[in-house]
Amino acid sequence: MEADPALAAGLVAGKSVLITGAGGSIGSGLARAVFAGGPRTLVLLDLSEGGLYECCRAIAGLAGNSRTAVIPVVGSVVDQSLLANAMRRHGVELVVHAAAYKHVPLMERNPFVAVMNNAVGTYRLVSAALEAGVSRVTMVSTDKAVNPRSVMGAAKRIAELVVLSHSTDECRMNAVRLGNVLGSSGSVAPIFCEQLELGLPLTVSDPEATRYLLTPGEAEAAILAAAGTGVSDRILAADCGEPRRVVDLARYLARTYFGNGVEHPIEYVGLRPGDKLVEELVGEPEEAVLGEISGLRVVDGPHPSRAEMISGIGGLAAACDKYDSDELLAVIAGLVPSYRPSSVLTGESILLEAS
């Protein structure tokens, strides 16, 4: 499944759209796809000045005779006043929330910023959308939110719960779970390619480690389909096919790179803090509803009430303000009972580059 221009046009033509995380790998590709659909206004928000500049530059190259007003906003989803102002000022009708910290081991060492951005930031974005009269919010989630072993995954699970508990008839909200997007920033394929260029062994965590893989086009198509679906307050799981062994991807890239059938050395380095041996798209006690909606499975499961989520988010923000790891873990455990911390959050040095 690739991004369909007609799908984008049917969803965004003539509307005002906000994309958060627009400077990232997924956000920037999504911004180009949405721009091609002819929105009235495209508001692009990112904390990274450089990433946002490059996104806008890429869109400028596509502009032609487009009448779309492209509005870059440098800022964080943690800043609710900024979000509400941007939504009101530009009459935003549709939000695609792709802003998130996603690097698992790095966020294990920075749990407070991971939770503030991924979980508390999502709550503030949702609150701003409700205040501004936005009609649709679609949050980009990850398979790492299922039975999470990392702070990043747990924070994304909480973000899912925020979206589910705050959806209304006037502002319909969903979350879409993706697998690993090939070629995205920090993903495994570019790391393998870099190691091949340098003549280094390919570092793989475990011979049995598996991941769900998507191309950027497939990820963009899944996000657009989720944003346009008729259901609300649901998690929608992208069709990622069967999970693939990471070592098989490494061997494939090595064969493609060298083209001579020679086996490139592979070094098994063990799971990193927060890593899982296998990823899942549906967890307990969730179930995937039979049938597909534009290549998506509808995932049903219980979730806390809005009042419970507001209380939990308050607890997370308070723990982050105090940099209190014990309090933070306690609040996360209350919201996400399936979370199992991988290690002490401020544990030993970690290898960021291993896949």
Q: Per residue, what are the HEC states of the chain?
A: CCCCHHHHHHHHCCCEEEEECCCCHHHHHHHHHHHHCCCCEEEEEECCHHHHHHHHHHHHCCCCCCCCEEEEEECCCCCHHHHHHHHHHCCCCEEEECCCCCCHHHHHCCHHHHHHHHHHHHHHHHHHHHHHCCCEEEEEEEHHHCCCCCHHHHHHHHHHHHHHHHCCCCCEEEEEEECEECCCCCCHHHHHHHHHHHCCCEEECCCCCEECEECHHHHHHHHHHHHHCCCCCEEEEECCCCCEEHHHHHHHHHHHHHCCCCCCCEEECCCCCCCCCECCCCCCCCEEEEEEECCEEEEECCCCCHHHHHHHHHHHHHHHHHCCHHHHHHHHHHHCCCCCCCCCCCCCCCCCCCC
Whole-Å CA distances, 339 to 142, 144, 156, 202, 273: 15, 11, 11, 30, 14
CA distance 10 to 17: 13
Total residue length of the chain: 355
CA distance 25 to 190: 12
Closest CA to 331 of 37, 120, 28, 182: 120
User: Does the active-site annotation cover 144?
Assistant: yes
Write out the two tokens for 200: 């280094």
In the set 102, 144, 156, 276, the catalytic residue is 144
Residues with catalytic annotation?
Answer: 144
